[in-house]
Each structure stands twice: as structure tokens, then as C-alpha cells.
Amino acid sequence: MSCQHPAHQSLFPDHCVFYHSDLRFSFFEPPPSHTELSIVESILRLSLKYDVQYLKRRALSHLNSTFPTTLAGWKSREKTRTIPPVDNTPFAAFGIARTFQLDWLLPSILYCISSHPIEKILDHAIFADEEISFNWPDKRMCIMGRQKLLVMQAQNAMQLTRIANDPVEGCNGSDCPTTRSRCAESLCSLDMAGFLDYLEENVDSYAEDICATCRAAFKETYTQAIQQMWNDLPSMFSLPGWQDLLKTKVAISD
């Protein structure tokens, strides 16, 4: 490690250069600057070892931007996340959260893991050319929680299907019933987590074939459903509720 200001009184000045394993160096800045998960883990380990609070806060802020604790944060995640979506990132992030007891990150991490094929949980996932596998308790938690998540997702799909088959007051589009049914059926066919982002990811498939009234009704029901799913996310994986997780976040972040 080298620093721009060697005469600085602090052991770790605010502007330090940390050498990474590949001999590159990077200024570890807080969000919105981007970084890499391996760098965040290294900095977090250093900050805890030497009790460097500002580095710990920066590392945690990068993790928080990528694995948020609110639905609003999740919805803006692709614009605000500072750790790139490299394949199997949540599997590596799970290990970091476990190692450093960052439990508030787990619900969104586990949702992300549930959006992958179950074989990765059962066997292993590859991240940065390394195999990541879970111990049995964590594997069981992931599988059981994933199943509960998919059950809720299917229940919500059925609810949207019922809405699709019922006339919407004020509907003025001839293709609306067919389009609403198609959306609900595609949601029913999902075999992994995908409900939280379904509307945004599929808007192009129905936006032109559904009237404004039906679109608003569909969105209202969907918005209520994803908020309920987000509220229930910790309990699906046998974690404390969001309120307790946020207390842990505040205690560790300070």
C-alpha cells in the first residue's frame, strides 16, 4: 500500500492506493465510484484488522449499493450499484456476508442466488475461476427459501391471471385480455426467482398491446405484490425481519 500524502498523521489517509493481487492499483473511493467485489472484500478485511473506520464504511457502502435493503433500492440497483454484475457474483457475496456477519445483505443476495439454476446451490458456482460451494446448513437455507419464494411467485402469478380474465372497468383495448393473460402465463412459467423485476424486463412484450387503464390496473396489483414479497423476503430464508436486520446494519456501519 502507498499513499499520496506520506506526511499525513493517520496510518491510513483518506486517499490511499491499495495494490491488488494482479499488481494493478486502485484508489478505493466510495460510491458512485465503481470497484470490484474482490477489492471490496480485501479492503473490508484490512479495515477490520487495523480498525480503519472510513475504509470499512466505504466497503460497506459498495456492498449496500449492490445488495440493498429496500425495494426502492432494488428497483434503482442497476443504475446505482458499484460492483459489476459478473456472473455468480451473489454466490461470492454470500460468503463475504457470512464471514463478516453482514446479515442485512443476505435477503437480496439470496434472492439473487434464487434467480440462478438450483444446480449451482446443490453443486457449486464459479466466480473468478474459483469454485464456490456452500456448507449443508447454508445450502439447506438457500433451497428451502428458494422454494418458498417460488411458491409466493406462483401465487402472485395466479392472482394476476385472475385479474387478466376479469374485465377492467374503463378498458378500451380489444387485445387487452389476451395480452394480460400472456403476461400472467409467462410469469407462471418461471422456475427461478424473477418476480421483482418482471414488469420492467417484460414491458416491451405487452406495452403496445394493452390500454392505459389495463396497464395501470396490472401495475397496481403487481406493485402491491412485489412489496409484500420484499417484506417477506427475510422470513423466507429464516432470517430476522427487516427491522432487526437494519438495526444490525446501523450498529456495524457506525
109 and 211 housed in the same domain: no
In a domain, 250, yes or no: no
In a domain, 101, yes or no: yes
- Cis peptide bond prior to 32, omega within 30° of 0: yes
In a domain, 254, yes or no: no
In a domain, 142, yes or no: no
Over 60: is that where the pLDDT of 6 sits? no
Among candidates 152, 143, 150, 144, which has minimal Cα distance to 229?
152
124 and 163 housed in the same domain: no
Q: Per-residue pLDDT tens for 53-80? A: 999 999 999 999 999 999 999 999 999 9
What is the β-pairing status of strands 16-19 and 25-27?
antiparallel
223 and 168 housed in the same domain: yes
- One-letter identity of residue 176: C
Q: Round the CA-based radius of gyration of the chain to a whole number and report it.
A: 21
72 versus 7: which is more confidently predicted? 72
Count how many domains the chain has: 2
The total of other beta-carbon atoms located within 10 Å of residue 224's CB is 12
- With residue 227 as reference, give the H or E element that holds it: helix 212-236
Label residue 19 by pLDDT band (50, 70, 90): very low
54 and 171 housed in the same domain: no
In a domain, 248, yes or no: no
Global pTM reads: 0.87
In a domain, 244, yes or no: no
Mean pLDDT of 14-41: 70
117 and 55 housed in the same domain: yes
11 and 110 housed in the same domain: yes
CA distances from 216 to 112, 156, 173 (A): 27, 17, 13
128 and 154 housed in the same domain: no
Expressed as residue numbers, the domain containing 217 is 149-236
Question: What's the 3-state SS for 36-68?
Answer: CHHHHHHHHHHHHHCCCHHHHHHHHHHHHHHCC
In a domain, 245, yes or no: no
In a domain, 43, yes or no: yes
Over 60: is that where the pLDDT of 31 sits? yes
214 versus 196: which is more confidently predicted? 196
